[in-house]
Amino acid sequence: MNASRRSTPDSGDTAELPPGKIPVPEDLLPYMRDFRWPRPRDGYAWKRATREDAPAVNALFNKVFDQQRPLDDYLWKAWGSPAGEPASVFAYEEDTGRVVSTMTGIRREVRVDGRDVTGFLLCETCTDPDARGGGRLYKGVVTGYGICAQDEEGSAFAYGGQSTDEAITVGARWFGYVNIFTLQPLELRLSLRPALQRRLGPIGRLLAAPLDAVIARRWRKRTYGYVLRESQAFGPEFDRMWERHRDGYRAVVRRDAAALQWRYADCPKWRHRTLVAWRDGEPCGYAIWREWDVDGLQVATVLDLWDGADVDLAEALFDEVRRRARVAGCSHLRFAAKPDSVEEQALRRLECFRVTTYERPDRVLCGPNSGADYGFLPPDAVDVLRTVLDPDAWYYTQGDCDYRD
């Protein structure tokens, strides 16, 4: 194994290994990579982004993805997390300062084996198609991110959802990332309107309303003793629900009131609805969903479900969400579930849930922040990595990654 070296954007000098680290155990070596800050080359250089760089980074995103995203939307997403500032790196042209490639890791607090650690959600990755050497620029920003994240106290890993085949292949080869699990999107039809309208035109739309009402009346009410009320704010009851369930999972992204307020209530792009289940005056769980247009269909997508692995509670929440989504005009309800999970069991208890072919499975990558000291890690980080690389350890929903901007 190579000796450990630490480098910075400003210096290529090596330094002594900081105390308190151990050699990486053999079972984790396949995920480790020897990262170095890329040196300026061919007119390009790399640096860690600050908030002042946000306009240029957002402008690159808009160019690459042909969008007009407001700067405030990017500031909310990347810089608004209550867990703290992101680890964000970009490449730029030395003569003009123009940003040409970027990678952002949004700081998230994650509960791992009963303690709070820092994880980074990888996103905002893009490279200007007009820039030379796009692959090298991309590799450089991810390498820089890895070193910045490793320098953060309590940080051991990164994750990202909705991964493409290319991201999985490149991530495994260059950065040690592994596809730890896949969420399978399931769907419940709430209305016959789209199908009948497609076959019969306007007449089908007229026929759908009375047929939908008959079908909905056949849905069996499933409250299991819970009182289900919609909430307009994330108050202290959400802190109590987080504390109630958080250590029932070995790895789970923080879901207290502050995290949910930022993620869903403050989101500038989408309006989310929240349903809370109460029993004996105490909050027990919740569902958060988005009602939106997907290829011409009004779809309710459940992004977060907090049920403490109680299949009855999960079923009660899904049942009430489908009723409210139907009243709101949605034709389908979707949720991406881990296979064999409590949430999948709850959905299959309801009538006519099926695997949907209209939304691709959500594949979740995970990997170590291993770049700063190749071959060495703090002992605590070793334990964290072993847990987060275990697919059975996670409770995870689409909302932990899906921003859809």
Residue ranges of the chain that CATH labels 3.40.630.30: 22-183+363-400, 184-361
- Summarised one tens digit per residue, pLDDT across range 37-65 is 888 989 999 999 999 999 999 999 999 99
The CATH-assigned architecture of domain 22-183+363-400 is 3-Layer(aba) Sandwich (3.40)
pLDDT of residue 84 exceeding 90, the answer is yes
In percent, the amount of the chain with pLDDT more than 70 equals: 88
- Lowest average pLDDT, out of 88-92, 150-154, 318-322, 398-402, goes to 150-154
- pLDDT grade for 83, boundaries at 50, 70 and 90: very high
Tokens standing for residue 354? 């099926």
The pLDDT mean for the chain works out to 88
For the chain, report the end-to-end CA distance as a whole number of angstroms.
42
How far is residue 86's CA from residue 49's CA, in Å, rounded to a whole number?
A: 9
pLDDT of residue 153 exceeding 80, the answer is no
pLDDT of residue 14 exceeding 50, the answer is no
pLDDT at site 4: 35
- Summarised one tens digit per residue, pLDDT across range 194-210 is 665 666 667 756 666 76
What is the rounded average pLDDT of the residues 134-142?
Answer: 91
- pLDDT grade for 284, boundaries at 50, 70 and 90: very high
What is the rounded average pLDDT of the residues 156-177?
Answer: 86
| Fold classified for 184-361 | Aminopeptidase (3.40.630)
What is the rounded average pLDDT of the residues 139-153?
Answer: 86
- pLDDT grade for 10, boundaries at 50, 70 and 90: very low
- pLDDT grade for 212, boundaries at 50, 70 and 90: low
Residues near 253 by beta carbon (within 8 Å), at least 6 away in sequence: 108, 109, 110, 111, 119, 259, 396, 400
- pLDDT grade for 174, boundaries at 50, 70 and 90: confident
Among the residues of 153-275, which ranges form H helices?
Answer: 165-170, 193-200, 202-217, 236-245, 257-260
Beta bridge partners of residue 116, listed in sequence order: 111
How far is residue 295's CA from residue 56's CA, in Å, rounded to a whole number?
A: 31
- pLDDT grade for 211, boundaries at 50, 70 and 90: low
- pLDDT grade for 17, boundaries at 50, 70 and 90: low
What is the rounded average pLDDT of the residues 367-387?
Answer: 82
pTM of the complete model: 0.91
Question: One-letter amino acid identity for 315?
Answer: E
Alpha-carbon dihedral 341, 300, 267, 143, rounded to 10 degrees? 50
What is the rounded average pLDDT of the residues 101-121?
Answer: 95
